[in-house]
């Protein structure tokens, strides 16, 4: 019996999407769905939910919960990762509140920036523990990483974990539908080419019947910017740098030095930037969980429709040898020629029985590659800090972050990092 292992299975809603999709996929019938989470109550919730879907869908897969991670992984053909180390309380709160004392405001704080750096530093040791188990009990498994910070964690698993890893993000498949809906354009028949880095990949080409749609997109974007909407940062970046970005405006507001600035507070209102957005989402999700739990876990008649998540389509393509195209996060083995080879990049990939094969992109437009490199700098220094356990590299990563360095002095950055290290306590390894 082939096996799909889900690490972080207590993420019940996400488990419904990814594993519910697997239960609905003919090529994946008869698989064992192995669930692991350190929160045993949430683990059981997810198992109950998936068994309800199994019953209503008629799936022949077997749902099995594990409290021993190595046994959950043993013999797995595919591993899906959706963990969050430290959760909302205390770690996300810490990531937002201490920088705020220094005048550094954030929106999501899960990719780069101070929040992204510290989320990486507490997650990388756990991921490397996963990698050690995988090398021992399922060395040929394909590891699909959904956990942020996507680029760094996928890089670490490939470079230091010795595990065949592809990172997956919703933003690629959502890019065209969201953009075209916002501008009142019809997306049917549209061809697009997207590449860059995670959360800052670029819509390089967008055509229909051989016609370049960018002139019409930009014309409508100029009109759209005359009124408040939720995507003002991305539209502004497109109009200034020439290309649309895959990830949302609330994310991109903190990836650049242009939008969240103490000396220009009017920019927050002008570009409709939702400061402290991620903590609000966490609080809302926690408050809604009681009702969601009732709807998901205790509904014996729960059904599921296959979602747009890539995981089941990847497994299906490998099992059936029917090709499927994805946007995947992989190591830059010369795929994007004007980005560092040691970086993780997001490029079109072909999936079939051979696995996930990335495609060659070549040079990005120089201004786009330059913007990507500003974030790659922080990513690579964060990895250096995590692997060497040298505190200086944490400072370097923070001082090279575009938003942080635009707001704070070097002395304040060092003091803030020291305070964050102390506040995280046992959530972080020791740094010399």
What is the H or E stretch that residue 287 is in? helix 277-297
Helical packing angle, 391-400 and 366-388, nearest 10° = 160
For 176, phi then psi, to 5°, come to -65, -50
> How many other CB atoms sit within 10 Å of the CB of residue 28?
23
**Residue 302 in tokens:** 């729960």
Contact criterion met (CB below 8 Å) for 42 and 74: no
Q: Which tokens hold the place of 107?
A: 């929106």
Query: Maximum CA pair distance of the chain?
Result: 61
Which one is catalytic: 40, 170, 256, 424? 170
Active site residue 170: yes
- At 423, give phi and psi (nearest 5°): -65, -35
The residues, ordered by sequence, that sit 6+ positions from 139 with a Cβ below 8 Å of its Cβ are none
For residues 9 and 35, the answer to whether their CB atoms sit within 8 Å is: yes
Polymer length of the chain: 432
DSSP class of residue 16 equals H
What one-character-per-residue DSSP string does 181-245 give? HHHT---TTEEEEEEEETTEEEEEEEEETTEE-HHHHHHHHHHHTTS--TTHHHHHHHHHHSS-B
- Tell me which residue has tokens 């964050």: 420
In this structure, what are the phi and psi dihedrals at residue 346, rounded to the nearest 5 degrees?
Answer: -115, 115
**Active site residues per annotation:** 170
């Amino acid at each position: 019996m082939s096996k799909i292992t889900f690490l972080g299975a207590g993420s019940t809603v996400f488990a419904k999407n990814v594993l519910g999709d697997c239960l609905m996929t003919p090529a994946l019938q008869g698989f064992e769905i192995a669930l692991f989470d350190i929160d045993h109550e949430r683990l059981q919730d997810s198992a109950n939910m998936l068994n309800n879907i199994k019953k209503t869908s008629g799936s022949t897969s077997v749902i099995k919960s594990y409290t021993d991670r190595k046994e959950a992984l043993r013999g797995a053909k595919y591993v899906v990762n959706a963990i969050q180390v430290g959760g909302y309380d205390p770690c996300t709160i810490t990531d937002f509140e201490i920088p705020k004392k220094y005048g550094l405001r954030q929106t999501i704080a899960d990719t780069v920036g101070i929040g992204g750096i510290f989320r990486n530093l507490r997650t990388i040791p756990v991921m490397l523990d996963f990698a050690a188990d995988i090398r021992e009990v399922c060395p040929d498994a394909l590891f699909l990483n959904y956990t942020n910070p996507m680029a760094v964690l996928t890089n670490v698993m490939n470079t230091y974990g010795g595990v065949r890893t592809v990172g997956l993000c919703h933003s690629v498949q959502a890019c065209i539908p969201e953009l075209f809906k916002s501008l009142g354009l019809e997306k049917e028949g549209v061809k697009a080419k997207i590449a860059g880095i995670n959360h800052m990949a670029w819509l390089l080409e967008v055509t229909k019947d051989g016609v370049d749609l960018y002139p019409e997109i930009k014309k409508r974007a100029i009109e759209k910017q005359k009124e408040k909407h939720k995507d003002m940062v991305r539209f502004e970046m497109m109009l200034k740098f020439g290309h649309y970005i895959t990830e949302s405006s609330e994310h991109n507001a903190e990836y650049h030095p242009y939008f969240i600035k103490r000396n220009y507070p009017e920019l927050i209102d002008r570009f409709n930037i939702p400061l402290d957005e991620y903590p609000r989402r966490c609080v809302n999700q926690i408050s809604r969980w009681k009702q969601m739990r009732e709807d998901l876990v205790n509904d014996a008649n729960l059904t599921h429709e296959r979602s747009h998540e890539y995981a089941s389509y990847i497994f299906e393509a490998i099992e059936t040898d029917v090709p499927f195209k994805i946007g995947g996060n992989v190591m830059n083995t010369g795929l994007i020629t004007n980005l560092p080879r040691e970086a993780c990049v997001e490029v079109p990939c072909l999936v079939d029985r051979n696995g996930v094969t990335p495609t060659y992109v070549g040079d990005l437009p120089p201004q786009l590659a330059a913007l990507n490199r500003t974030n790659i700098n922080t990513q690579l220094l964060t990895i250096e800090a995590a692997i060497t356990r040298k505190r200086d590299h944490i400072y370097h990563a923070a001082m090279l972050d575009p938003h942080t360095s635009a707001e704070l002095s070097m002395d304040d950055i060092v003091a803030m990092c020291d305070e964050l290290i102390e506040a995280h306590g046992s959530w972080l390894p020791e740094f010399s």
